[in-house]
Amino acid sequence: MLWKAHYSTIVLTDVTMWAEEEARVIVGGFGPQDLGDMELWLRLIESEQALQDAWRVDLTAFSKEDREDLIRASWVKKSLTQKPPEWSETWPRRVYAYCPPARLLMIGPATEDAWDQFREAAMACLPNPERSEG
């Protein structure tokens, strides 16, 4: 029997982890094993023009050596400045994407359905210039 990776994404709503004022989207992981899934989330986020400057990355769980040796300099520049609160014991320690304004937390890979839901929530939380002009 071959081992297969687990490709489901846990969707949690009404979650308040921490508030990084500048970040509309936060992607994080818990070590080098999460870098591939973090990369996918960030590529999808950066593919949306409106979200390109709205993301931050949580590298606080990575060792100093991992941050120096494995993490892109562009990610380190956009890393969170504050340590997040304790990760809930009921949540798996896997890659995650969090949208603080929407209070939406996705734990796991960016599957098509997960990305569609996350993108919709993140885009809905962006300032709408048309609303402020009226």
> Does the pLDDT value for residue 129 go beyond 80?
no
Cα 109–23–104 angle (5° rounding)? 45
**Of residues 18, 16, 19, 37, the one with CA closest to residue 27:** 37
**Amino acid type, 117:** Q
Q: Which long-range contacts (CB under 8 A, 24 or more apart) does 38-47 make?
A: 38/95, 40/109, 40/110, 41/95, 41/97, 41/110, 42/75, 44/110, 44/115, 44/119, 45/97, 45/122
pLDDT in tens, 25-63: 999 998 899 999 999 999 999 999 999 888 989 888 888
Percent share of the chain, pLDDT over 70: 83
Distance CA 71, CA 68 (A): 6
Residue 130: pLDDT over 60? no
Question: Is the pLDDT assigned to residue 3 strictly greater than 70?
Answer: no
Specify the pTM: 0.84
Percent of the chain with pLDDT over 90: 42
104 Cβ neighbours under 8 A, 6+ residues apart = 11, 12, 13, 15, 98, 117, 118, 121
Please report, for the chain, the start and end positions of each structural domain, with discontinuous segments joined by +.
Answer: 10-84+92-124
Is the confidence at residue 114, as pLDDT, over 90?
yes
